[in-house]
Amino acid sequence: MELKNKTIKKKLKKREQARKSRKRAVLRNRKFIENYKLDHPCSCGEREPCCLSFHHIGDKEGNLSDMVNRGYSIRRLQKEISKCKIMCLNCHAKIHNIKELKQVI
């Protein structure tokens, strides 16, 4: 019984450490993305980070905000960013609207 309790305690400690480690990675990733956006305004001039998004041009491994929140490494985020163009939400919506219109026509 004592041994079983020790094993459970170890497991719980490991799980807690993993949770904390992921939390730190998420905060690090959010800071990284925020700084990246500050350095890369939209071509229309918008530079407010909360108004900027990533438009995929190349193949897509995943949604960047999901990758950030899952604690992916900075290297994987950079790889995904390299396949994107940074745009403000308005310009991003216009591009997708044009794409959809082309599919209808």
Binding footprint of Zn ion, residue count (CB under 5 A): 5
Beta-carbon contacts of residue 83 (< 8 Å; ≥ 6 apart) = 56, 57, 58, 59, 60, 61
Minimum separation from the CB atom of position 25 to Zn ion (A): 30
CA distance 52 to 35: 12
Nearer to Zn ion, 25 or 84 (CB): 84
Nearer to Zn ion, 42 or 68 (CB): 42
> Which of positions 65-104 make contact with Zn ion (CB under 5 A)?
88, 91
Question: Phi and psi of 94, rounded to 5°?
Answer: -60, -45
Window 39-68: contact mask with Zn ion (x via CB under 5 A): ---x-x-x----------------------
Nearer to Zn ion, 77 or 88 (CB): 88
- Count H helices and E strands in the chain, helices first: 4, 2
Minimum separation from the CB atom of position 42 to Zn ion (A): 3
